[in-house]
């Protein structure tokens, strides 16, 4: 399960309040996209959910459990970083296994999970290579594999494709959508790219200066943007 609830969450860095009181529910299995201009608080919000930042006030629940003070490793959420976060000196297998080795999982269970993930991601033939011997898209898949093996309640992506060239981005967008279809696990995806938001999301959360301007399906936002900011951002005719 992967239902995530934010209840009156705020975040300040010193005197700067980046997230004003914010309520949001993400249903189990949903593909939710946080979209908004640079600096609006997308990464901060994702990091709060992941536990990489502490909320200033408010509560975060994961499947009814209060996770507000739970450390990141115990939240059952997997953050997918950009492909450059791979270890260049380790094989693909070791890169994918990394979080499992850290958790002290037994070797047979590690191998089972690695092979399952490799199959889902078409990386079976590449497990003994180093990241430097892979294409950009394959490297991105290894980064995703490292998240899959943890069998998380939700995947969190922070602009995972921003390093890739335009053509590759389209392919990876499709691959991530397909992965969601297959795994049916909750995914939260941060981007400043309207096209990614409109094509990938079940639900879009439009942020401006830490405020939620509107939440809705791509079609709802397109048909009935609440204001000019949303209309402008989504590219819809208001």
Binding residues (CB under 6 A) for ligand ADP: these are 13, 18, 36, 38-44
Q: How far apart are CA 138 and CA 141, in angstroms?
A: 5
Total residues at interface with Mg ion (CB under 5 A): 1
Q: How far is the CB of 207 from ligand ADP (least distance, A)?
A: 7
83-122: contacts with Mg ion (CB under 5 A)? none
Q: How far is the CB of 72 from ligand ADP (least distance, A)?
A: 15
Q: How far is the CB of 153 from ligand ADP (least distance, A)?
A: 22
Instruction: Find the helix packing angle between 107-120 and 136-148, rounded to 10°.
Output: 140
Q: How far apart are CA 36 and CA 162, in angstroms?
A: 15
Of the pair 95, 214, the CB lying nearest ligand ADP is at 214
Q: By the 8 A CB rule, do 92 and 38 touch?
A: no
25-54: contacts with Mg ion (CB under 5 A)? 43
Of the pair 43, 177, the CB lying nearest Mg ion is at 43
Q: Look up tokens 């080795």; give the residue.
A: 101
Task: Tell me 226's DSSP state.
Answer: S
Of the pair 145, 213, the CB lying nearest ligand ADP is at 213
Of the pair 15, 106, the CB lying nearest ligand ADP is at 15
40 binds, among Mg ion, ligand ADP, none (CB under 5 to 8 A by kind): ligand ADP
- 82 makes contact with Mg ion (CB under 5 A): no
Q: What is the largest CA-CA distance in the chain?
A: 57
User: To the nearest 5 percent, what fractions of the chain are helix, strand and coil?
Assistant: 40, 25, 35
Q: How far is the CB of 40 from ligand ADP (least distance, A)?
A: 4
Q: Which runs of consecutive H residues, i.e. helices, occur in the chain? A: 42-50, 92-102, 107-120, 136-148, 166-183, 194-200, 218-223, 228-234
Return residues touching Mg ion (CB under 5 A).
43
């Amino acid at each position: 399960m992967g239902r995530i609830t934010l209840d009156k969450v705020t975040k300040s860095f010193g005197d700067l309040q980046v997230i004003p009181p914010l309520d949001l529910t993400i249903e189990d299995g949903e593909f939710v996209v946080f979209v908004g201009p640079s600096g609006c608080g997308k990464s901060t919000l994702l990091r709060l959910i992941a536990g990489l930042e502490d909320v200033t006030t408010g509560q975060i629940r994961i499947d009814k459990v209060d996770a507000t003070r739970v450390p990141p490793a115990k939240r059952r959420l997997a953050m997918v970083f950009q492909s450059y976060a791979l270890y260049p000196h380790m094989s693909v297998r070791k890169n994918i296994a990394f979080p499992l080795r850290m958790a002290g999982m037994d070797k047979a269970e590690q191998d089972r999970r690695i092979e399952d993930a490799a199959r889902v991601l078409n990386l079976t033939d590449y497990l003994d290579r180093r990241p430097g011997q892979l294409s950009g898209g394959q490297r991105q898949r290894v980064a995703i594999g490292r998240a899959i093996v943890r069998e998380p309640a939700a995947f969190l992506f922070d602009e995972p494709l921003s390093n890739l060239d335009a053509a590759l981005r389209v392919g990876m967008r499709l691959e991530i959508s397909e992965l969601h279809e297959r795994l049916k696990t909750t995914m939260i995806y941060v981007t400043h790219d309207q096209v990614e938001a409109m094509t990938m999301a079940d639900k879009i959360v439009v942020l401006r200066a830490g405020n939620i301007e509107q939440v809705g399906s791509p079609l709802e936002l397109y048909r009935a943007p609440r204001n000019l900011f949303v209309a402008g951002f989504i590219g819809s005719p208001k």
